[in-house]
C-alpha cells in the first residue's frame, strides 16, 4: 500500500470513529456499525497507517469508561471481530490488540479478546510475552487505581492457557531485547517471578489459584 493510500485509510478510520462516538454514547451500536458500512469500511480496510488497527481506537477510547458506554465499546469490538478482524494482527512493533489492552490495564477488553481467541504466546519486537506486559505494567504502576485489576488480568491470561514456564522476555524470539527493560526479572519465567513475590501478594495468590483452576479443568476434560 502506498504512503498516500495509508494516510487515506488512517484518516477514514478517524473520520468514522468521530461519527461513531456520539452514537456509542447513546448505546446505538448498530447505528455506529452503519457508519462503517456507509463509508464502505470493511474488515479488510479498517487498518490504519503502519498496521494500526481500527480496533486500537476502540481500546484507546474505551479506556477508563464504565457502565453503558463501556458495554457499547465492547459490543462494537465484538462485532468487528465477528466481521473478520484478525484478533492477533500486529502493528509495526509486533504489538497485538491484547498487548494494547494489557498496557492500559483494561480488564474487560482483555477478557473479551481472550474469549475471542487472542494468543497468549505472541511476542512483541523485544520478545516480551503478554504475561510480561501484565506483570510489568502493574508492577511499575502499583499505586495506580487500575492496579486492583492486576490479579484478575493475570488470572485471565493464565486461564487462557499462557505458558507460565516460558521466559517473560523470550530471547529465542528477540536476541537483541533491551537489557534495561524491567531489570533482572526479564530473565525469569512467569512462575519464577511469581514465586519471588511475597506470599501475601494478590498476584501470587491469583496466579496459583488460576493454575489450580486450569489443572482442574484439564482433568475434567480428560474424564
Among 41, 60, 86, residue at a domain's last position: 86
Residue 5 has pLDDT above 50, yes or no: no
Q: Domain for residue 115, yes or no?
A: no
Among candidates 104, 114, 97, 24, which has minimal Cα distance to 64? Answer: 104
Residue at grid coordinates 473520520 = 15
Q: Specify if 50 maps to a domain.
A: yes
53/17: higher pLDDT: 17
Query: Mean of the pLDDT values across residues 17-40?
Result: 87
Mean pLDDT of 124-132: 88
CB neighbour list of residue 221: distance below 8 Å, 6 or more residues apart: none
Q: Which domain holds residue 205?
A: 122-223
**Pair (128, 223) in one structural domain:** yes
Confidence band, pLDDT 50/70/90 cuts, at residue 33: confident
Do 136 and 74 reside in the same domain of the chain? Answer: no
User: Which pLDDT does position 47 carry in this prediction?
Assistant: 46
**Quick one: 2 and 70 in the same domain?**
yes
What's the domain count of the chain?
A: 2
Grid cell at residue 165: 514456564
pLDDT value of position 184: 62
Residue after which a domain boundary falls, among 40, 71, 86: 86
Phi, psi of 167 (to 5 degrees): -55, 140
22: pLDDT strictly greater than 50: yes
Q: Give yes or no for residue 223 having a pLDDT over 60.
A: yes
pLDDT at 46: 52
Is there a single domain that holds both residue 66 and residue 145? no
Greatest alpha-carbon span in the chain: 57
Average confidence (pLDDT) over 176-182? 51
Do 223 and 139 share a domain, yes or no? yes
Model pTM score: 0.84
Per-residue pLDDT band at 50 (split at 50, 70, 90): very low
Amino acid at each position: 500500500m502506498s504512503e498516500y493510500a495509508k494516510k487515506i485509510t488512517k484518516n477514514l478510520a478517524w473520520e468514522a470513529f468521530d461519527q461513531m462516538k456520539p452514537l456509542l454514547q447513546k448505546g446505538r451500536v448498530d447505528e455506529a456499525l452503519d457508519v462503517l458500512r456507509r463509508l464502505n469500511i470493511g474488515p479488510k480496510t479498517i487498518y490504519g497507517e503502519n498496521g494500526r488497527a481500527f480496533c486500537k481506537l476502540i481500546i484507546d477510547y474505551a479506556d477508563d469508561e464504565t457502565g453503558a458506554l463501556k458495554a457499547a465499546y465492547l459490543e462494537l469490538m465484538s462485532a468487528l471481530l465477528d466481521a473478520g478482524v484478525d484478533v492477533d494482527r500486529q502493528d509495526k512493533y509486533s504489538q497485538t490488540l491484547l498487548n494494547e489492552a494489557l498496557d492500559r490495564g483494561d480488564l474487560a477488553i482483555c477478557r473479551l479478546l481472550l474469549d475471542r481467541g487472542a494468543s497468549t504466546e505472541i511476542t512483541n519486537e523485544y520478545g516480551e510475552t503478554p504475561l510480561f506486559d501484565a506483570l510489568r505494567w502493574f508492577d511499575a504502576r502499583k499505586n495506580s487505581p487500575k492496579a486492583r485489576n492486576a490479579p484478575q488480568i493475570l488470572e485471565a491470561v493464565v486461564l487462557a492457557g499462557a505458558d507460565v514456564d516460558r521466559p517473560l522476555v523470550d530471547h529465542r524470539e528477540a536476541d537483541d531485547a533491551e537489557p534495561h527493560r524491567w531489570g533482572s526479572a526479564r530473565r525469569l519465567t512467569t512462575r519464577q517471578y511469581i514465586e519471588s513475590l511475597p506470599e501475601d501478594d494478590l498476584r501470587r495468590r491469583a496466579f496459583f489459584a488460576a493454575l489450580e483452576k486450569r489443572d482442574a479443568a484439564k482433568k475434567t476434560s480428560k474424564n
